[in-house]
Amino acid sequence: ELIHVDGMQVVRLSNAEASAEVYLYGAHVTSYVRRGVPKLFLSDLAALDGSAPIRGGIPVCFPQFGKRGPMAVQHGFARRVVWELGGALDAATPSVVLRLPPGEHADWDYRLGCLLKVALEVDGTLVCHMTVHNEESERACSFSTALHAYFCTPDIEKTRISGLQGTTYIDQLAGGAVVEEYPDKVEFLSEVDRIYSGVPSKIMIECGDNLVSELELETFCDAIVWNPHVEKSRGMADLPDDAWKGFVCVEPAVAVQPVVLGAGEHWAAILRIR
């Protein structure tokens, strides 16, 4: 169902197991609740009026992750524009298809179509299915992307990410140095901002002995793991000072090597969360 919240268009999806909310602004999933448990963090100070990217939920970074590409704007323009509904909403299947609108953007001169389908499976799993189409008639085009998911966690100090064993990472806090050390699990004792490359298809977020959330990836071959910790949070106007204790970002991506699409070619990737 399409509703209006403070002048913004929001799609609500629900079935017996789960519910989700998707803002057309940014094609941004702001809420996902499964079996009564909120899975995604949304900042109490997030701008929800379209004036700035939404802090929390699942921002879509496209056609560039971070500053890794030709654009000056961090994470690309997709999270800053209102997407279009890509078809009629059907209450029987809790899903919505959103289409990135055509438009002019600084440092960007390609016709690259992007669709995001957000759906709930019968068991309440959230599925984000992203497809990209190079609509140029002659030119190849490259892009990078991430589904910048903010996961709730009860206590960041007891939070561990597993499934990344054996993958190297680029440390964004050390000028992009490549780190080859393979601890069992990633911990958050200070700010963490890493791009893991060549990641497996399953990544788990644990807190103490509990599994908090599980991600399943198709095509996405990298994953950013980020938590701002004390200092960086203080500099972020749209994040309460102590909110970093309650979330971790695990972001399925293609960020280390861009995707290169020949004229007319398609690319597709899937993230499942449960």
Return binding residues for substrate. 55, 74, 79
The minimum distance between CB 238 and ligand BG6, in angstroms, equals: 8
The minimum distance between CB 47 and ligand BG6, in angstroms, equals: 11
Task: Report the number of secondary-structure helices (H) and strands (E) in the chain.
Answer: 1, 21
Q: Which is nearer to ligand BG6, 37 or 179 (CB)?
A: 179
The minimum distance between CB 57 and ligand BG6, in angstroms, equals: 11
CB 56 within 8 A of CB 70: no
**Considering 21, 28, 75, 251, which one is annotated as catalytic?**
251
The minimum distance between CB 66 and ligand BG6, in angstroms, equals: 5
Residue with tokens 């000072």: 241
Instruction: Examine the residue annotation and report whether 214 is marked as an active-site residue of this protein.
Output: no
Question: Helix, strand or coil for residue 158?
Answer: helix
Instruction: Examine the residue annotation and report whether 148 is marked as an active-site residue of this protein.
Output: yes
Q: Which is nearer to ligand BG6, 83 or 226 (CB)?
A: 226
DSSP string, 23-70: ETBTTEEEEEEETTEE-B-B-TT---SSSS--SBSB-EE-S-STT-SS
The minimum distance between CB 42 and ligand BG6, in angstroms, equals: 13
**Considering 21, 28, 75, 148, which one is annotated as catalytic?**
148
Under rule CB under 6 A, residue 21 binds ligand BG6:
no
Instruction: Out of 75, 160, 272, 274, name the contact with ligand BG6 by CB under 6 A.
Output: 75
Which helix (DSSP H) or strand (DSSP E) does residue 267 occupy? strand 266-273
Which stretches within 168-252 are classed as H helix? Answer: 229-234
Region of 35 on the Ramachandran plot (φ > 0 left; ψ -120 to 50 alpha; else beta)? left
Residue type at 19 in one-letter notation: S
Under rule CB under 6 A, residue 172 binds ligand BG6:
yes
CA distance 130 to 153: 26
Task: Please tell me the number of Cα atoms within 13 Å of 125 on its side-chain side.
Answer: 14
CA distance 47 to 115: 24
By CB under 6 A, what part of segment 36-55 binds ligand BG6? 53
Instruction: Out of 60, 96, 215, 224, name the contact with ligand BG6 by CB under 6 A.
Output: 224
Size of the site for ligand BG6 (CB under 6 A): 10
**Which residues contribute to the annotated binding site?**
55, 74, 79
- Per-residue x/- mask for ligand BG6, residues 131 to 170, rule CB under 6 A? -----------------x----------------------
CA distance 255 to 266: 18
Q: Which is nearer to ligand BG6, 226 or 267 (CB)?
A: 226
Catalytic residues: 148, 251
Binding site for ligand BG6 (CB under 6 A): 53, 66, 74-75, 148, 172, 193, 224, 226, 251
